[in-house]
Structure 1
Amino acid sequence: MIPVITIDGPSGTGKGTLAALVAERLGWHTLDSGALYRVLGLAAARRGLSCDDPISMAALAATLPVSFAADQVILDGEDVSEAIRTEEAGMAASRVAVHPPVRAALLGWQRRLARPPGLVADGRDMGTVVFPEAPLKIFLDASPDARAERRYKQLKGKGLDANLPNLVADIRERDARDRTRSVAPLIAAADAVLVDSTAMSIVEVLDRVLEEVRRVFPELVL
């Protein structure tokens, strides 16, 4: 079996950064499942489709013209790596992710990305639905205020306007939607290792997760 490490958790906890660092250390592939839903939301907006329509969203997901090359996300031949990282794209992703037909359409696509020598997959349901047999599952969490502050600094660093109270409200709204959806809600797998990054730096989080990697995969040289 191809080894898989899953990193789940709510928006803004640093799952993508952590997954990339772990994969780099191991020489494994990565799966940013959230990018798929963000691309889907962006594609829907550009086509004038409603993210709340499960039928049209499932049809679009089944034929989504997206590809991943290095650090680029390509939609319809255009690099949308930056476009899908906006707050609007994140909210659209949360809206399309509630539809069971959409998740079913993307499930096989995600599982096919598991290939040698291994995969680090981050998202909301990687350890509970997509890769339930993964030998190491991490659930990365942080307080809404801490996540909003990180996002605020990130946006300001890019020269973009940001309102901290609005970011906190958006994060709480998205958390509620992700945790209460009927299919694949945001929950920690029963065997997941819980890591609260509220008061931790990314270096500290990485060190903590690498401890678990060494425990589960003692044959790996880090």
Structure 2
Amino acid sequence: MRVIAGAFGGRSLKAPKGEGTRPTTDRVRESMMSAIASARGGFDGASVLDAFAGSGALGIEALSRGARCAHFYERAPEASRVLLENVRAMGLDPRCARVHRADILKDPPVRAQPSFDLVFLDPPYAFAATEALGVVAHLRSVGALAEDAIVVYEHAAGDEMQVDDAAKACDLSLARRKKYGDTVVDVLRTVRTEDAGTATERERHLS
């Protein structure tokens, strides 16, 4: 793997050994980053959460392209070690690249300054959409998610219905969906509280 563009463009990234993690391919990552840049007008100033970080490739790519800071969560010991090596290899300041050796489902962030406005979700495919997107719901409940946040969720093809239901329950709207073989990448946006209320009222009138 390598960093595709930005300050660290072309530099190599290590990947954890074994089948416990599933690194996002360079092709998918490039398409993903292009979609994010289009959705938010670039990466400058972004506050990033790489929730199931693995090698940290997604968060590091965002930092390379101008993100302000990134928090990486990874529970597996081997993956955490590789993640730290990648962060250090880029020469990233620990204050802007925070590595948390923790299970984000059991020990999620309770605060973020600034609030996260870009969230990467790339969990093992065995994780239910309600679990993965539940991280976003938690962030919102504790005030750690920006109102105009973008959530990028990588999941197995065929799980679209479950993802759509879970996203709706978390007040997330689908901005873009693209399939790459067995992988689907969704770009989701937070729905403002007043917009969610309007949508609910519209559905009531249509029922």
Higher strand share: 2
Higher helix share: 1
Same fold (TM over 0.5): no
Could you say which structure has the greater relative contact order, defined with CA pairs below 8 angstroms and 6 or more residues apart? 1
With normalisation by structure 1, the TM-score equals: 0.28
